[in-house]
Amino acid sequence: MQIRWELFVAFVTAGALTVASVIVFATLIARRTKASWKYWLYGAVVFIVFQGVLRLPWLIPLNILLRDVLRSSAVALVGFTAFAALTAALFERGGQWFLFRKFVRPEERTAANALMIGAGHGGIEAFFIGLLLALQGVNYLLLFALPPELFKSQKQVFAQLAWWLPFMGMWERLSTQVFQIAATVLVWHSFRFGAKWFWLAIAAHFGADFIFPLLHRHARQWLGTDFGSLVTEVGITIYAAVWAYVAWQCLKVANSLHEGEGISDEHPAENP
C-alpha cells in the first residue's frame, strides 16, 4: 500500500483554508462595521467555556458509555441525537445571551458587535477543526512511517477515501460559520424584540445539530460515503443560507427602526 500524496495535500490544504476562512470572516466584518476585535474574542470565549468546558466533558463520556446501545437501537440513536442537539443549542445560545446580558453594556449591544461575536463563536470552532484536518494529513503520513503490519485497518480506511473528501470538512466549516453568525444575530435581536427571537435561535441551532448528523449517517448508508457526504454538505449550506437570510432581515428591521424612528442600540430590552 503506497502513500496517496494527493490525499495528504488535500488534508493539509483543507485545514489551512479552514483556518484562513476564520481570519477572512472576522476581517471582513471588522472592516465593514468597524467592530472591535475584542468582541471576536468574546464570542470565542463563550464557545470555549459553554461548549468546551461546561458541556463536552460530560457529553463525550456519556456517548462512550451508551455506545453499544446507540449502535443497536435506532430509537436510542435518534433520542441521543436530539438530546445532544438540544444541549448544544441551550449551552451555546444561552452562553451568548449571558454574554450580552452580563458582559456587553447596553450601549455596546450593536449589530456590528453581534456580528463580530458570532464570527468569534463560529470561528474558534472552525480554527480548531482546521487544525485537526491538517493534523489528519500528518497522521496519515505517520502511519506509513510505522512497520507495514501495524495499523492495517486505519491504512485501509485512508485508502478508501476520495482525495477530495477532506474539503467537505472545510466546506462544512464555511457554512457553519455563516450559521453561527446568523444565530448570534437572532440572540442579539431578542434584546430589542423579545424572547421569541432567542427561542428561535435555540430552535435553529437544534435543527442543525439534530437533522444533519442523522442525514449524514443515513445518506452515507444509502448513497455511499462520497456522495452521501456531498448531499449532507449541500443540505447544511442551504440551511445556513436560510438562517442567514432571516438574520439579514433582522438587521434590516433594526436599521430601519434606528433611522426612521430614532431607536438606537443603547436601549435594548433587558429581559428577553
Q: Give me the residue spans of the domains in the chain.
A: 5-260
Rounded Cα gap, residues 199 and 177, in angstroms: 20
Give residue 155's pLDDT band: very low, low, confident or very high (50, 70, 90). Answer: confident
Rounded Cα gap, residues 190 and 203, in angstroms: 14
pLDDT digits (tens, 9 = 90+) for 188-246: 999 999 999 999 999 999 999 999 999 999 999 999 988 999 999 999 999 999 999 99
pLDDT digits (tens, 9 = 90+) for 37-92: 999 999 999 999 999 999 999 999 999 999 999 999 999 999 999 999 999 999 99
Q: What is the DSSP letter of 148?
A: T
Determine the pLDDT at residue 259: 65
Of 152, 127, 104, 148, the C-alpha closest to 26 is 127
Which cell numbers hold the place of 162?
A: 476520495
The answer, as to whether pTM is greater than 0.85, is: yes
Q: End-to-end CA distance of the chain: give it in Å, rounded.
A: 59
